[in-house]
Amino acid sequence: MIRPCSAADLPQMFAIINDAAQAYRGVIPADRWHEPYMPLAELKGQIADGIAFSGCESAGRLVGVMGIQDKGEVTLIRHAYVRTSERRKGIGETLLKHLEATTTKPILIGTWSDAAWAIRFYEKNGYRALPRSETARLLRKYWSISERQIETSVVLAK
């Protein structure tokens, strides 16, 4: 079941994000990794900044989360995470399709350049990595991230 996440879901969202983000350890640049990957204060800040999370619930607990953020002329898919124990069950794809159906605007997705599995997931779902020059421009325009993260990220679009 896909449903909107609420403040009551914050502990589970925090756990899912930081469990799933372990896949980035040793993959993304070491200077971008920290523990926890997304502190609770940052998660709350992302929500306050307009990211609306949806969650996939199974047997009464969240097993995956994904956010969507309206940025005017485009929509961003943000923070897509599935519990490590629940991967490869279609949860990410179900969440992505659900969020895609909520907007008619072009969708942009940013992820780490070295997260090959994430890029393959989005490509399997019809997205393509944009050229480097376009990636940097879009990341600066629509995301609030450091220059270092811009250097090490990719943007995908349909």
Which DSSP string do the residues of 11-79 spell out, in sequence order?
A: HHHHHHHHHHGGGGTTTS-GGG--SSSS-HHHHHHHHHTTPEEEEEEETTEEEEEEEEEE-SS-EEEEE
Of 76, 75, 81, the C-alpha closest to 5 is 81
Tokens (6 digits) for 73: 């002329």
Chain center to CA of 1? 19
pLDDT in tens, 6-34: 999 999 999 999 999 999 999 999 999 99
Question: What average pLDDT is seen over the chain?
Answer: 97
Q: What percent of the chain has pLDDT over 90?
A: 100
pTM value?
0.95
Q: How far apart are CA 140 and CA 158, in angstroms?
A: 19
d(CA 31, CA 134): 24
Q: What single-letter DSSP state applies at residue 131? A: P
What digits encode the pLDDT tens for the residues 92-146? 999 999 999 999 999 999 999 999 999 999 999 999 999 999 999 999 999 999 9
